[in-house]
């Protein structure tokens, strides 16, 4: 059965395993791969450069939740996670944020600190740290993961099992199998809004992996007793990828969500509305469709009921049990909410709708509340009739004030119930201090332009390997943390120069990864390399500008140094 109205919060990944809204848990942005660890919901502590104060997202799925995997494991299921986790990784022995801490017996390839396949999808895989996981050069990670998942299914066919396959595809970095790219390049029609052959090749590898898993279920003889759910974690990336491997596809939008407006990270339909496919043997008829409202929080109670189980009575759930609705009964859900307290006016110019806001959909009507977006600092309300205006082109808020007020009241009640972090107008916005004589505060820019405005250092590559360097005078282990924002993300590195005067001296290189989108705090542990007088911060590999709010350097046994630009 195909469902056509699956609604997502932009950070739904946390809502599926626990059945709670991201607004309630505070995990409202894709930041669970970064350090330091944030476990408290709060607004960012920002200076005068941001017009709207946004949420500082919680960065780990707390262990206090009783997850879907734990519920199934308690009932005797074997539980396995494959692929992207992005709900937290452990920094010290006392931490318990990884898949095998959250109810899974098995985790492959165990990359809980990876936001995506950094370095690319094709072997050798740079983002996989386990030295035993290798494969032939050019092997796609979805091929390897789906083979491992198929092996797991075969080995556990005689007992209940739960396989949580969260594919790395389709996501940046933008690269794919060369033979698949050539195949779709020959088919691409430039008049079709979906004509990026590289993206099509990436989807093909995902399709291969899904087919391999389904085939394993068939071969094991358990197809009549296996529930399969296929869905997406956000709307399609309807923007140019900016950087691709191979070159030549950076200016072609990865995909199109037409007739839906915008795409991933947006509060418009293109960002949060997707179809999903359900196979429930003996219950749901093949090749049927349903257009009821379903939200990612609903999976927890629904899947437990479908397997003959019930959630613990003391668990707080925002999801509805929709198992009977799958069989034709009325859906218990008449409204959905989405809270995304991130983004900015600048980001919304590049990704339409990537602005802090909350929406409610009730029936065919959808109201979006964009925080402090009007010129006077008040909230902007946008009302759409999705039955007649699926592309959200006509804002009817002024024409229907009573309906607008009713739906806005539902948003207010939702925010109060979930104790959500509410973005607000920044009272310090525009109150800029005088520019110092050295705006870079001792940092030197090389192969990049660098300027400081409103407390933000903006750097953009002008040549290969752009970096910012500073005299560090390190004499042992240290830790550097910096707040960074970039539209597309990318990989960078910190270099420690032990002998900068020697041209043949090799630096110690420590990599880091930056995710595109909102502000993120990145922490890099610096090893003890003896005397290291120079530190270089190489920018993420992107053609876009990189913004840096502040940098802090903490050396063992020495006073911390902090640069507030």
Question: Is the predicted pLDDT of residue 463 greater than 90, yes or no?
Answer: no
Q: What is the pLDDT of residues 386-404, one digit of tens each?
A: 999 999 999 999 999 999 9
Euclidean distance between CA atoms 443 and 457, whole angstroms? 11
Euclidean distance between CA atoms 495 and 17, whole angstroms? 39
Q: CA-CA distances (angstroms) from residue 78 to 160, 230, 459?
A: 6, 20, 49
CB proximity list for 27: less than 8 A, separation 6 or greater: 11, 13, 14, 57, 58, 59, 61, 87
Rg (CA), the chain: 24
Smallest CA-to-CA distance from 3 within 300, 325, 358 is with 325
Q: What percent of the chain has pLDDT over 90?
A: 73
Rounded average pLDDT over 315-323: 96
Question: Is the predicted pLDDT of residue 1 greater than 60, yes or no?
Answer: no
Q: CA-CA distances (angstroms) from residue 536 to 69, 216, 471?
A: 43, 49, 9
Give 489-516 as a DSSP string.
Answer: EEEEEEEEES-TT-TTPPPEEEEEEEES
- For the record, the structure tokens of 192 come out as 């079709």
- pLDDT score at 430: 66
Euclidean distance between CA atoms 551 and 479, whole angstroms? 11
Smallest CA-to-CA distance from 250 within 175, 190, 192 is with 175
- pLDDT score at 10: 46
Asked if 290 contacts 283 with a C-beta cutoff of 8 angstroms, the reply is: no
pLDDT band at 48 (very low <50, low <70, confident <90, very high): low
**Strand, coil or helix: 431:** coil
- pLDDT score at 556: 77
Residue bearing tokens 């198929």: 150
Q: What is the pLDDT of residues 468-512, one digit of tens each?
A: 999 888 888 899 999 999 988 889 999 998 765 555 668 899 999
Phi/psi region, residue 442 (left: phi>0; alpha: psi -120 to 50; beta: rest), is left
- pLDDT score at 6: 52
Lowest mean pLDDT: which of 175-189, 249-263, 523-537? 523-537
The overall average pLDDT reported for the chain is: 91
pLDDT band at 121 (very low <50, low <70, confident <90, very high): very high
Lowest mean pLDDT: which of 176-185, 424-433, 515-524? 424-433
Asked if 230 contacts 276 with a C-beta cutoff of 8 angstroms, the reply is: yes
Core vs surface per residue 371-394: b (16+ CB within 10 A) or e? bbbeeeeebbbbbbbbeebbbbee
- pLDDT score at 370: 98
Helix locations, 327-435, DSSP H: 345-350, 401-418
Lowest mean pLDDT: which of 147-156, 204-213, 364-373, 489-498? 489-498
pLDDT band at 23 (very low <50, low <70, confident <90, very high): very high
- For the record, the structure tokens of 424 come out as 């607000």
Question: Is the predicted pLDDT of residue 12 greater than 80, yes or no?
Answer: no
Burial class (CB in 10 A: 0-12, 13-18, 19+), 149: buried
Global pTM reads: 0.78
Question: Is the predicted pLDDT of residue 101 greater than 70, yes or no?
Answer: yes
Question: Is the predicted pLDDT of residue 432 greater than 80, yes or no?
Answer: no
Q: CA-CA distances (angstroms) from residue 326 to 4, 228, 360?
A: 13, 13, 23
Which of 3-12, 303-312, 551-560 has the highest mean predicted lDDT (pLDDT)? Answer: 303-312
- Which residue segments constitute the domains of the chain, with CATH numbers given? 2-11+59-319 (3.40.720.10), 444-564 (2.60.120.260)
Q: CA-CA distances (angstroms) from residue 249 to 198, 201, 468?
A: 7, 12, 29
Q: What is the pLDDT of residues 243-294, one digit of tens each?
A: 899 999 999 999 999 999 999 999 999 999 988 899 999 999 888 888 889 9
Asked if 187 contacts 174 with a C-beta cutoff of 8 angstroms, the reply is: no
Euclidean distance between CA atoms 23 and 359, whole angstroms? 12
User: How far from chain centre, in Å, is Cα 107?
Assistant: 20
- pLDDT score at 410: 98
Whether the link from the prior residue into 36 is cis, omega within 30° of 0, is: yes
């Amino acid at each position: 059965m195909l469902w056509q109205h699956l609604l997502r919060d932009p950070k739904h990944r946390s809502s599926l395993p626990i059945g709670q809204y991201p607004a309630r848990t505070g995990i409202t942005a894709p930041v669970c791969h970064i350090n330091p660890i944030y476990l408290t919901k709060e607004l960012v502590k920002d200076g005068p450069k941001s017009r709207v104060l946004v949420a500082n997202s919680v960065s780990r799925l707390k262990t206090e939740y009783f997850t879907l995997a734990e519920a199934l494991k308690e009932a005797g299921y074997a539980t396995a996670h494959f692929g992207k986790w992005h709900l937290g990784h452990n920094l010290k022995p006392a931490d318990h944020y990884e898949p095998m801490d959250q109810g899974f017996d098995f985790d492959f390839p165990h990359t809980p600190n990876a936001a995506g396949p950094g370095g690319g999808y094709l072997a050798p895989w740079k983002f996989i740290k386990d030295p035993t996981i290798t494969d032939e050069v050019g092997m796609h990670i979805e091929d390897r993961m789906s083979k491992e998942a198929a092996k797991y299914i075969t080995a556990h066919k005689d007992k209940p099992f739960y396989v949580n396959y969260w594919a790395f595809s389709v996501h940046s970095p933008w690269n794919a199998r060369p033979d698949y790219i050539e195949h779709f390049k020959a088919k691409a029609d430039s008049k079709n809004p979906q004509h990026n052959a590289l993206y099509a090749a990436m989807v093909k590898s995902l399709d291969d992996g899904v087919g391999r898993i389904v085939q394993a279920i068939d071969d094991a003889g358990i197809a009549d007793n296996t529930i399969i759910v296929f869905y997406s974690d956000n709307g399609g990336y309807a923007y140019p990828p900016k950087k691709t491997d191979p070159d030549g596809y950076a200016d072609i939008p990865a995909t199109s969500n037409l007739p839906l407006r915008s795409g991933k990270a947006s509060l418009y339909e293109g960002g949060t509305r997707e179809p999903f496919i359900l196979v429930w043997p003996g219950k749901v008829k093949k090749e049927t469709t349903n257009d009821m409202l379903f939200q990612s929080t609903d999976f927890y109670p629904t899947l437990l009921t479908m397997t003959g189980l019930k959630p613990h009575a003391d668990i707080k759930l925002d999801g509805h049990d929709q198992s009977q609705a799958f069989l034709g009964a009325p859906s218990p859900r008449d409204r959905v909410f989405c809270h995304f307290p991130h983004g900015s006016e600048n980001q919304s110019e590049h990704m339409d709708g990537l602005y802090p806001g909350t929406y409610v959909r009730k029936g065919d009507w959808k109201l979006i509340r964009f925080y402090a977006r009007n010129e006077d600092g008040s909230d902007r309300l946008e009302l759409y009739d999705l039955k007649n205006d699926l592309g959200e082109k006509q804002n009817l808020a002024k024409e229907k004030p009573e309906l607008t007020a009713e739906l806005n009241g539902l948003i207010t009640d939702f925010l109060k119930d979930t104790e959500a972090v509410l973005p607000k107008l920044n009272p310090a916005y525009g109150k800029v201090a005088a520019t110092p004589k050295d705006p870079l505060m001792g940092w030197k820019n090389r192969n990049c332009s660098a300027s400081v405005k409103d407390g933000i250092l903006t750097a953009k590559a002008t040549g290969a390997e752009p970096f910012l360097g500073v005299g560090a005078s390190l004499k042992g282990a240290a830790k550097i943390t910096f707040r960074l924002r970039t539209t597309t993300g990318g990989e960078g590195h910190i270099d420690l120069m032990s002998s900068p005067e020697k041209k043949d001296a090799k630096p110690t290189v420590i990599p880091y990864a930056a995710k595109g989108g909102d502000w993120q705090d990145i922490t890099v542990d610096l090893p003890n390399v003896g005397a290291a007088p120079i530190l270089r911060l190489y920018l993420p590999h992107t053609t876009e500008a990189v913004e840096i709010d502040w940098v802090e350097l903490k050396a063992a046994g020495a006073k911390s140094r902090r640069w507030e630009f």
